[in-house]
Chains A and B, each alone.
Chain A
Amino acid sequence: MTRSFTLRTALLASVLSVFLLHTAHAASQSGNGHAVSFSAEQVAHGAQIYAGACAMCHGADLEGGHDVPDLSTYFTARWANTPIDQLAGYISRAMPLMAPGTLPPQDTAALVAFLLHQNGVVSATDAPLPMEEARLAKLRFPAPSASSAAATKP
């Protein structure tokens, strides 16, 4: 568990620094449709849930494995331009695989925020990612850009 603690601390630090440094050109990252926003608290909370409930299968660095999909580079290609309610819906219905349907909506939103952040998406504002399906349906998973892909390595 020391490992997840370090992960959490490191993440929180990187989340905060990203917020300080990059808010300026956030809008350009958000792809078509409405700009995606999520809060630093959501990302930190998502990181915590991820470490406890997801990392055992999807890997501490979201790298996946031979028999488990990654939630990193290939993942962004699979989900690019997909309405975000579909991703949130998938996580809340199907994950964690051994106990599907057990995540409360705020945890699901936090996990989505965490996945977006880890994949180099910069929040447009500090507003939290909404939990309501109808509002999420207006947002799309941003297509990765070459620079953001390179910038994600923790």
Chain B
Amino acid sequence: MKRRDLFAASLAAGIMGSTRRGWAATPDAAAALGRTALHGTIPRIVPIRAHADQIMDIKVCLRPFRPAGPRMDVEHVAGKTVVHNYGHGGSGWSLSWGAAYMAVGHAAATLERKVAVIGCGIIGLTSALTAQRAGLDVTIYTRDLLPHTRSVRANGSWTPDSRIALTQQAGPEFARTWEKMARYSWQTYRDYLGMPGNPIDFRDNYTLSDTAPDAADHVPAPADAAKGSFATTGMPQNSAEFAEYASLISDIIPAPELLAGADNPFPVAYARRTPLMIYNFGSYGHLLLEEFHQAGGRIVIREFHSPSDLADLPERVVINCPGYAARDWWNDKSLIPVRGQTSWLPPQPDASYALEYKGAAMISKSDGVMIQGYDMSGLGEMDGVGNSFEHPDRAEAEKAIAIIGDLFTRFQPRAG
């Protein structure tokens, strides 16, 4: 999701046809939604204990971003049919089931019964399960199992069009592919809702701001023509180049609600609430692995050093899911690293919600309170682009935690 202009975008999406308006001018919007909270139903918010001395882990990751969108074509290499499934940018978790469905379709069309899956990140694991569900015999070959992959260094929520492609380089055809993937994934995830351990869950996500939704700081920075664009420089240069597809599926994704005046429990002037799908990595990861083994799947720990290494696999069909590592392993220089970092504080099951404020996001999950500074410098989608310094930055973590911490020092818990 385009975080920076979330207010503006969700206003446009939530209120059909209305132009962007200031908060004061939205009683008609609230009326259109018909859902101002009934007296006494405003949720009680338990404060998040966001303090740097509570950090239990800092995770850093490189989003595997390709300007043209994920690589999903079929190639013949080393005597194998190789179906690629990598380069899902900041949307790998969200799109995983839909991407797997497409990749496995190519594999199934070969009529081979045995397939190899390379990689055990979220893309490899869902590809392997989807192949099993299509009746195939699956072996995963991977250097690492899920807990050590870049996948578990994500934020872990439904963000299906986060740095997934550049509009121009991906073209209109990819928008249709994206829509199919997003819909298929969303529906598959519903199958995991309400299970023991809540592998997949929802949180109320509060988008907070001190300034009005149409204030200058919510408007994406105008493109600086002097910087050029991906077409002229080979690197994305401004936020506006990144594709936005969310409106294609607004019919099935819960819309944001304005929280007017007394409905807003936070010490900020403006708040919106959106139900957000989240992934609890621990319980979900173990569940997927269990399903894979129960269906007779095999895992071989192995690292490939060159595409010619594929020659000695017994399987003739390979689904290739190496994530960012494809930059070297498959010599795909179109992969651009987009660095991101999350910090993890002890779980707070009493405070199960999420929020975004001043470029920092917090999600209270079963395996910890996740805090991520996703845009603390006003760079929008350009934050982290081209940065492959995959090493924890404690100062950045503390800055993000301080934003959330500061919010709660001003917080007045509701009486009763």
Contacts and interface: CB of A to CB of B under 8 A. Distances in A.
Contact of A67 (B60, B303, B387): B60
- Give the interface centre of B59, B305, B328 by most chain A CB atoms within 10 Å: B305
A88 B232 CA distance: 33
Interface string B353-397: 000000000000000000000000000000000011111000000
A93 B330 CA distance: 12
Nearest to B149: A67
Contacts of A79: 303, 305
Interface string A97-113: 11110000000000000
A78 interface: yes
Contact of B391 (A69, A82, A98): A98
Interface residues of B, number: 15
List of 3 A-B pairs having minimum Cβ-Cβ separation, nearest first: A98-B389, A94-B328, A86-B305
B327 interface: yes
A110 to B, nearest CB: 20
B143 interface: yes
Interface of A: 56-57, 66-67, 69, 78-79, 82, 86-87, 90, 93-94, 97-100
B148 A94 contact: no
B306 interface: yes
A116 B126 CA distance: 37
A79 B305 CA distance: 8
Contacts of B163: none
Nearest to B339: A98
Contacts, number: 32
Contacts of A69: 143
B234 to A, nearest CB: 15
B154 to A, nearest CB: 13
A94 B148 CA distance: 19
30 contacts: A56-B391, A57-B390, A57-B391, A66-B148, A67-B59, A67-B148, A67-B153, A69-B143, A78-B143, A78-B303, A79-B303, A79-B305, A82-B305, A86-B305, A86-B306, A87-B305, A90-B305, A90-B328, A93-B328, A94-B327, A94-B328, A97-B388, A97-B389, A97-B390, A98-B387, A98-B389, A98-B390, A98-B391, A99-B388, A100-B388
A54 B148 CA distance: 20
Interface of B: 59-60, 143, 148, 153, 303, 305-306, 327-328, 387-391
A25 B387 CA distance: 46
A94 B328 CA distance: 6
Contacts of A99: 388
A97 B390 CA distance: 7
Given A67-B148, A100-B388, 14 more contacts: A67-B153, A69-B143, A78-B143, A79-B303, A79-B305, A86-B306, A93-B328, A94-B328, A97-B388, A97-B389, A98-B387, A98-B389, A98-B391, A99-B388
Nearest to B325: A94
A97 B305 CA distance: 17
Contacts of A56: 391
A121 B328 CA distance: 26
Contacts of B327: 94
B337 to A, nearest CB: 9
Contacts of A94: 327-328
A80 to B, nearest CB: 11
A20 B10 CA distance: 72
Contacts of B303: 78-79
Contacts of A93: 328
B152 to A, nearest CB: 9
Contacts of A57: 390-391
A69 B303 CA distance: 11
Nearest to A95: B328
Contacts of A100: 388
Contacts of A97: 388-390
B122 to A, nearest CB: 15
Nearest to A90: B328
Contacts of B391: 56-57, 98
A79 B306 CA distance: 12
A41 B133 CA distance: 56
Contacts of A98: 387-391
A99 B60 CA distance: 16
